[in-house]
Amino acid sequence: MARVKRGVTTHARHQEMVKLAAGYRGRSSTNFRMAIEKVEKALRYAYRDRRNRKRDFRALWIVRINAGVRAEGLTYARFMNGLKKAGITVDRKQLAELAATQPEAFSALVQQARAALEAPAASPSAA
């Protein structure tokens, strides 16, 4: 049986990893062993941060909504409670967009939430 030399395959695999590390500083972008470590670390960060991005954006939306609501004299928690009582289902991403770009529309939502908060709660009937 003929001997199979693996140099071409190994070189190709090494070059693929080094190509992924292009742009890294120093030997990290040229040395195979260092490139493996750096690329794997980068992939771990990417995996983690794809999940973190979702919570980061939600926090950003809440900050923007809170800023818009406080200008109207309410707090974020009371505003969201008022929206729920009023039966308005708009997600935080859209609320933040409204607060930043269309203050008059956002103000109308705040007024509806405030009205729902001030409406007398339905008293439970005595059975």
Closest CA to 72 of 92, 95, 55: 95
Is pLDDT at 126 greater than 60 in this prediction?
no
Q: What is the distance between the alpha carbons of residues 10 and 24, in angstroms, rounded to a whole number?
A: 22
Segment 33-46, tens digit of pLDDT: 999 999 999 999 99
What is the model's pTM?
0.78
pLDDT tens by residue, 52-85:
999 999 999 999 999 999 999 999 999 999 999 9
Residue ranges and CATH numbers for the domains of the chain are 8-118 (1.10.1900.20)
Q: Give the span between the Cα atoms of 35 and 18, in whole angstroms.
A: 6
The predicted pLDDT at position 1 comes to: 86
The backbone torsions φ and ψ at residue 58, rounded to the nearest 5 degrees and listed phi first, read -60, -40
- Would you place residue 119 in the very low, low, confident or very high pLDDT band (cuts 50, 70, 90)? confident
Query: In whole angstroms, what is the distance from residue 18 CA to residue 99 CA?
Result: 46
